[in-house]
Structure 1
């Protein structure tokens, strides 16, 4: 729409408001009466109604109207939107194939019967609800072919199978939810975030669970739902009061499954949607399946720990306290402490090239690994210590306290230099900041292990925080089970961000001299260490200095990972 056209639209809207308000008279006389005591409700939001095509509209107007109607019918059946399409295209066009979240849209006619739409893209969501944040300067072009019908009216003969929405509409009309799978030992639930149009969301969630985890995660997790299980009928009945009913086929496979774990996955995935009671049947008219789930939440992050002059301290009530039995780390530049949840594994970097154990009790400091520019270590729930040698070797290194070491490879890391590593608290995913020909990126990948929990390989990496450039400090930490904290370069200096594995990144106030991030007890509480050694806590929308804490060399971002 041109600037002039927009001005005419605004003028028409203003005229309409004036006409409507002109029909309402406010009484100026009569007795004073008491009000009804009612409350003024805040308006839920502007409801945009889709409008069909005008008979004499030019091609650009047809495409503009098509995009507006599409945006207005995000949670509908696109009945009005399809009126802009030629008869044959109405049944062919599939708006669910992909969603583009756009910040700006420009429509122009590029041929006698062709209209081009240029989009500044913020994110993309695929048919299965997987959200990918794209680089800040991402652009995309969509082309629409038009024809004239028997009456001479223009209609769209070809439209890309894409749903285009702006960020505000996406936030209003799409529902963020987690699908829950299981760790290979079936002890911990693992979330994978998806985004679905806000209609029949319980059905969309159950269908996605039956389809299984995304390719990047599938070798790192398992599911108690038998392969090939189908939802029959193909919808979840969601009643008032929070009762969700569904039937799975084939019945025999469902009855032979671990029903407790199956129900645990369904309950964790559906409860945030308001489901309080699950009724799951094995086959049409079959018995309601029952079971007792035996799963645990992901391990807590533990207390925040810091390293001051080589001494490990824990932050309790915003004051440092000594960690019982922990000795001083010896080395040229001790830093980057990490530990397990139970505190039995404690490590640090004695210098940038030496990974050591932290002396505890009578146990002396020992060297576990050496290499150039080692990444800050991270301890997983299987007691493996992860790091990486900054050599572009295309792998990560994992070592245990007994000296057992393995190389964990990933094809996509070949030729890249790993700068930061953090394993998720459930041990199934690893976040990696690496530098390569395309610059510095943050990726999350699944971890494949053997039956004893030994890490074997890393799966395909999925890009997170695609609009961001990780800072030179390359500090990352798991804030919760689906969100990372990262320092990124920004116009105001180094800026901490909350970066979902799937979703849009959120900036926090900039800290120009920030060098390290930490998360406390797995909550959404974040800490920053500055170049001067001060510890700042995010509180009330700003960063507040933790009193009595100075000279911080580094932090143990969390117990899982450390």
Structure 2
């Protein structure tokens, strides 16, 4: 599936190459089809060069029911913008009622087909087949991806037209169905952007941009698809915690077909009159949403102009967008941090090379005053939170010379080290998060600005005990490694905030969903982009692996990374240009681009970037 398109992970859209006839490179609609009998299933097309355009073939005269079903299923995997060829396999009424955009069901392999003997014979005027397979994912009408499991069984019914005597499908399930490899070839993951409803950047006070990943058809005018998707609003899962600056009802101007940047990489977006009366600041936010979204698709777009009511409303360049909203992937960490062999906090410059040298971090965590087993550095890199060696106490200290260390801001009453505090984590608002694993009173806690009375975060429907916590830079999503029945799963939750009692807010984590359904043991995790994480884990009976995953549970194209063994931590940044680090029994390791892991001379028990 498409890679997270942030920073160095971006790729430019493929230039489509059209093939007019069925040949070696044509994939869909060109397979040989049986004349009669059962179908063996539509095999998923192997992964192909994304520059190849795939066209469907219409039904031939006097094709039997088996060939009609086969041709229809193959047409679903083509690059036909409106599925017009696929509709030729349907009766007139079925073609009018069929809604392919309602959903996409992804199967492990292409859909199998079984002739329904009770549904008739080819000698009669009706026939039916059952489509079968194993579900791996589903994309809904909002283009939102979700892992799926279980069997797939849907019926396709055919009838023979009394006038033409041609077989056509007259009853079929809504949406489309295809195998995993065809889905990977046809669809790509792209982020659209909204703003966090209740969080702002602690350093700038700007609204925080939040990525909302969706899947769009890669070679079917993806740019216009993304603009329409953005204007339609956030996906249901994210909607409770984000806002859009576009006025309700805003859409592309009637008659707009395809959007294309000019030769200066500027895209002009014509909107309907719902947007005609907006002010300058609101217009800048709208343009920023569009710019962030379209750069996720095509990083060469560097300016957005909005038009409505017959005039230009505003124009926003990439440079000016940085003054409108904050985005995690645009924040460049100054240092990589790690805990050395003396349990002290040290750091190396962000532009790390094989000969990089580590220096102690100023303050109590780096000068030996307070040995620590885990630390999190605030995103502004001015303070840090550390957990004592026994896991009982959480301290917050400045990272400036001579910074004093006060009393712990939190203590755990857990009986063993494994039943006490997890590694803490900071969000962009400057709040500190940590889980207390005390078996008698397990809790997820929030300390506003790193101190004060801890706020207990409600976690309805959490099934298991939290092993690790990582908050996204946007402050509205949280990654939890949850331990249950000796299995450790990675779950992504939505952070909801509301007014509480006194000065304390009411905070909860809602609608937890799995980001790694195939992994049984997740041992380390870090956010690695606006909607992407890097995870260390293993499948049942498998070996430990390092891979990227999207927060919706999908796997990017370049998801698998070189393997490691006995990994204790993984360090990634939302800024994709920052190098990847890990710690294992071999010490501190570095992953330069396009090569394997390299061991650095430093001894480290945990490595991490700010956050």
Do the aligned residues in 1 keep the contact of 2:344 with 2:367 (CA within 8 Å)?
Answer: yes
- Choose from 418, 443, 451 the match for 2:466: 418
Partner of 1:157: 170
1:457-476 to 2 correspondences below 5 Å: 457-471=508-522, 473=523, 475-476=524-525
In structure 2, what is the Cα distance between the partners aligned to 1:438 and 1:130?
A: 31
- Is structure 2 residue 344 aligned with structure 1 residue 311? yes
Do the aligned residues in 2 keep the contact of 1:493 with 1:511 (CA within 8 Å)?
Answer: no
Runs of 5+ unmatched residues, structure 1 = 1-8, 13-41
TM-score for both structures, normalised by structure 2 = 0.75
- Is structure 2 residue 577 aligned with structure 1 residue 544? no
1:202-221 to 2 correspondences below 5 Å: 202-221=223-242
Moved more, 533-542 or 340-349: 533-542
Runs of 5+ unmatched residues, structure 2 = 1-29, 34-47, 120-126, 201-205
In structure 2, what is the Cα distance between the partners aligned to 1:330 and 1:276?
A: 47
Do the aligned residues in 1 keep the contact of 2:387 with 2:393 (CA within 8 Å)?
Answer: yes
| Cα deviation code 1:404-459 (max 9, x no counterpart) | 2101113232x431122101123222112224589643222232335899572223
- Choose from 220, 233, 244 the match for 2:268: 244
In structure 1, what is the Cα distance between the partners aligned to 2:436 and 2:270?
A: 50
In structure 2, what is the Cα distance between the partners aligned to 1:164 and 1:393?
A: 46
Partner of 2:583: 529
Moved more, 399-408 or 83-92: 399-408
Partner of 2:548: 498
Give the 3 Å change call, closer, same or farther, for CA 329–300 of structure 1 in structure 2: farther
Q: CA RMSD in A?
A: 3.3
- Choose from 358, 361, 380 the match for 2:427: 380
Do the aligned residues in 1 keep the contact of 2:568 with 2:605 (CA within 8 Å)?
Answer: no
TM-score for both structures, normalised by structure 1 = 0.81
Structure 1 residue matching 2:535: 3-state secondary structure: strand
Give the 3 Å change call, closer, same or farther, for CA 521–350 of structure 1 in structure 2: same
1:302-341 to 2 correspondences below 5 Å: 302-308=334-340, 309-316=342-349, 317=352, 318-325=356-363, 326-328=366-368, 330=370, 334-341=372-379
Alignment length (residue pairs) = 512
- Is structure 2 residue 91 aligned with structure 1 residue 86? yes
Partner of 2:326: 296
Partner of 1:22: none
- Choose from 473, 497, 510 the match for 2:563: 510
Structure 1 residue matching 2:247: 3-state secondary structure: coil
- Choose from 42, 67, 78 the match for 1:61: 67
- Is structure 2 residue 155 aligned with structure 1 residue 126? no
In structure 1, what is the Cα distance between the partners aligned to 2:456 and 2:215?
A: 35
Partner of 2:405: 364
In structure 2, what is the Cα distance between the partners aligned to 1:168 and 1:266?
A: 30
1:366-445 to 2 correspondences below 5 Å: 366-371=407-412, 372=414, 373=419, 374-390=421-437, 391=439, 396-400=444-448, 401-413=450-462, 415-436=463-484, 440-445=488-493
**How far 1:534 sits from its partner (Å)?**
0.9
**How far 1:86 sits from its partner (Å)?**
2.3
Moved more, 317-326 or 495-504: 317-326
Do the aligned residues in 2 keep the contact of 1:347 with 1:355 (CA within 8 Å)?
Answer: no
Give the 3 Å change call, closer, same or farther, for CA 65–383 of structure 1 in structure 2: same
In structure 1, what is the Cα distance between the partners aligned to 2:81 and 2:423?
A: 49
Give the 3 Å change call, closer, same or farther, for CA 462–246 of structure 1 in structure 2: farther
In structure 2, what is the Cα distance between the partners aligned to 1:43 and 1:181?
A: 32
**How far 1:488 sits from its partner (Å)?**
1.3
In structure 1, what is the Cα distance between the partners aligned to 2:235 and 2:54?
A: 34
Which has more radius of gyration? 1
Structure 2 residue matching 1:262: 3-state secondary structure: helix
Give the 3 Å change call, closer, same or farther, for CA 470–220 of structure 1 in structure 2: farther
Structure 2 residue matching 1:66: 3-state secondary structure: helix
In structure 1, what is the Cα distance between the partners aligned to 2:237 and 2:54?
A: 38
In structure 1, what is the Cα distance between the partners aligned to 2:406 and 2:435?
A: 21
